[in-house]
Amino acid sequence: VAEPDLAGRHVVVSAGGTREPLDPVRFLGNRSSGKQGYALARTAAARGARVTLIAANSALPDPAGVDVVPVGTAVQLREAVLKASADADAVVMAAAVADFRPAAYAAGKIKKKDDQEPEPIALVRNPDILAEISAGRARPGQVIVGFAAETDDVLANGRAKLKRKGCDLLVVNEVGERKTFGSEENEAVVLGADGQETAVPYGPKEALAETVWDLVTERLR
C-alpha cells in the first residue's frame, strides 16, 4: 500500500497525443498511447492525491478515482490544463503536444486532383503550454513538471529544454517508432531546475511515475 503523501493535494496530469485536424477525415498526430501519463495519474491517486487527467486521444480505460477530461487538439489541451491547474499543487505534462497545426481546416474532405501536384500543408505554431504555465504559475509554490521526448543527443537536448521551458523538473526520455511510445516500460533522467539529476533505470512506467511523485513531494514541502 502506497504512503498517502499526496493526500490533500490536487495534481493535474496530461497524457496521450494531440491530433491536429486537416479536414473531417485526417489529422497530424503522434505515437503517444497515454500509458506514461495514465501511470502518473494512477500512482498519484494511490498516494492520496485528487487527480485531474487531461487525456488527449488515448484509448486506455479511465483510471479509477481520477477525473478524466478528454481533449483532441493542443488548443483544447491548453484550455483544459489552464482551467484544471488554477488550484493545483502540481502539474505534470506527459502529453505529446503538437508544436504546429495546419493553418487551415477544410470543412469538406480534401480531394485528390489527378492532373495536379499535391499542395504543401501550411502550418502555424501551437501555444507552448508548459512554458506558459511555468512562466505564470497559477499558485505560488506550484510544482511544474515537463517531459522531453528526444531521439538524439538526449541529455544535452533535455538540459537545454529545461532552461527554455522554465519548469521545476523535466523527465528526459528517448523515443523512437517503437521506443517508449506504446510500451509498458520507460527509462529516463529527471532533471531538476536546481541541478539535481535522477536516473531512472529501464522498468515499468509506474516506477518512473513513482520517482516523479517522490521528486514532486520533496518540492511541495
Q: If binding is defined by CB under 6 A, does position 203 make contact with ligand PMT?
A: no
Contacts of residue 60, defined as CB under 8 A and 6 or more positions apart, other chains included, come to 33, 34, 35, 38
Among 73, 134, 142, 180, the residue binding ligand PMT under the rule CB under 6 A is 180
CA distance linking residue 204 with residue 142, whole number of Å: 27
30 is catalytic: yes
For residue 96, state whether it binds ligand PMT (rule: CB under 6 A): yes
Burial track 60-90 (b if 16+ CB lie within 10 A, e otherwise): beebeebbbbebbbbebbbbbbbebbeebbb
161 annotated as belonging to a binding site for a ligand? yes
Instruction: Tell me if 23 is assigned to a ligand binding site.
Output: no
Tell the smallest beta-carbon distance from residue 123 to ligand PMT (Å). Answer: 12
CA distance 180 to 173: 8
Interface with ligand PMT, residue 74, by CB under 6 A: yes
**8 Rama class: left (phi>0) / alpha (psi -120 to 50) / beta:** left
**Which set of grid coordinates corresponds to residue 60?**
486506455
Q: Which is nearer to ligand PMT, 68 or 109 (CB)?
A: 68
Whether 220 and 142 have beta carbons less than 8 Å apart is answered as no
Pick between residue 35 and residue 47 the one whose CB is nearest to ligand PMT: 35
By beta-carbon proximity to ligand PMT, the closer residue of 39 and 49 is 39
Annotated binding site for CTP: 99, 109, 127-130, 147, 161, 165
Binding site for ligand PMT (CB under 6 A): 32-36, 74, 93-97, 99, 126, 128-130, 146-149, 173, 175, 180-182
